[in-house]
Amino acid sequence: MKDARSLLFSRRGWLKTAGGIAAGAAVGSLGLLPREATAATIYPIDSWLKAQGQFFGQLPPAANYADWFSRLATLHNAPTPPILLATVDYAGLANQFFNFGTTIDYQNSQAIVQPLTDGSGNVSVHVLLYTHNANTWVIQLTGVVNGQLPPDFNTQLSTNPELFGVRPVTGASLSGACLGDSFLDLTYVTTPGNLWVDLLAANLQRVGFRSQATGPLTKYYSAQYGVPEGTLGRCAVSQTGLLAISTNSNSRVALDAFPAESVDLHPLG
């Protein structure tokens, strides 16, 4: 039987679509975004949200989710712990089918559009999205080799037993669903005539994500880690990706573009 200690796996997570958060920790607030000398235009988040879900993902009926991994890449002289995959309904797309009560904070969410100064005629779009009661679920991923997702990733996403939360597929019971708040801070480059881009198709430059959800740990978690059934748990996800940064080839950013990230799943109390 495994130890029931906090499953804290730092350093490696990325967004693969299958679909109280501190905004100050996000990428834009770290001063990592380009400071163009051109005027910016701030838009309500509605137009960007309407562009999400244009591509159908692995888990119908929702079009896509944000999947965040714990460390996949091998670090020098560092053990690679079991890999967790936390999936968060960042834009409320699953909520349209399951009514989790997910809402968007429209007052604070926004999209900031700014022309680039590199002569390309393109613009950067900086999205700040605050989501409340986002459905969150966690599985363990196996078969990762040299930082590469296994060939049966889609099968594992669909069938590996949940450690936390409910996989929102057609016919699933919502009993045991785990909800939480999330904050997505990303920047992508596009053309002025195509501002609102689905996350799956965006030319992403930088991304930051923070989420925290609370709910009952699953029976599978209890069997694996020896905690009583019905024990409350918490999943906290923290990710920072620098996808368009030129850096030293030996740096942590060059390894997998994510210098800091974690998926922390642990019992409460």
The predicted structure's pLDDT at residue 81: 74
* Distant-in-sequence, close-in-space partners of 173: CB < 8 Å, separation ≥ 6: 166
The predicted structure's pLDDT at residue 140: 94
* pLDDT tens-digit profile, the chain (269 residues): 433 333 333 323 334 333 333 333 333 433 444 444 578 999 999 999 999 988 766 688 888 788 887 765 565 566 667 889 999 999 999 999 999 999 999 999 999 999 999 999 999 999 999 999 999 999 999 988 776 788 998 899 999 999 999 999 888 888 999 999 999 999 999 999 999 999 888 888 888 899 999 999 999 999 999 999 999 999 999 887 655 655 555 544 445 555 556 789 999 97
* Cα separation, 112 vs 139, whole angstroms: 34
pTM recorded for the entire structure: 0.81
Counting beta carbons within 10 angstroms of the beta carbon of residue 78, is it exposed (0 to 12), middle (13 to 18) or buried (19 or more)?
A: exposed
Rg (CA), the chain: 18
The predicted structure's pLDDT at residue 239: 82
* Distant-in-sequence, close-in-space partners of 187: CB < 8 Å, separation ≥ 6: 27, 28, 33, 34, 124, 125, 126, 127, 204, 205, 206, 207
* Cα separation, 163 vs 172, whole angstroms: 16
The predicted structure's pLDDT at residue 42: 97
Return the SS3 of 25. helix
Contact present, 73 and 12 (Cβ < 8 Å): yes
Q: Dig out the tokens for 152 from the structure.
A: 């049966």
The predicted structure's pLDDT at residue 4: 37
The predicted structure's pLDDT at residue 219: 96
* Cα separation, 176 vs 180, whole angstroms: 13
**Of 98, 118, 85, which is closest to residue 172 (Cα–Cα)?**
98
The predicted structure's pLDDT at residue 244: 60
What DSSP string describes 168-180?
Answer: --TT---TT-EEE
* Cα separation, 247 vs 37, whole angstroms: 24
Residue labelled with tokens 């880690």: 225
* Cα separation, 150 vs 144, whole angstroms: 5
Return the SS3 of 29. helix
Q: Dig out the tokens for 121 from the structure.
A: 């005629």
The predicted structure's pLDDT at residue 220: 96
Q: What DSSP designation does 144 have?
A: -
What DSSP string describes 50-64?
Answer: HTTT-S--SSTTSS-
* Distant-in-sequence, close-in-space partners of 133: CB < 8 Å, separation ≥ 6: 95, 100, 101, 102, 103, 179, 180, 181
Return the SS3 of 76. coil
* Cα separation, 72 vs 141, whole angstroms: 10
Domains of the chain, residue spans: 7-267
Q: What DSSP designation does 156 have?
A: H
Return the SS3 of 92. coil
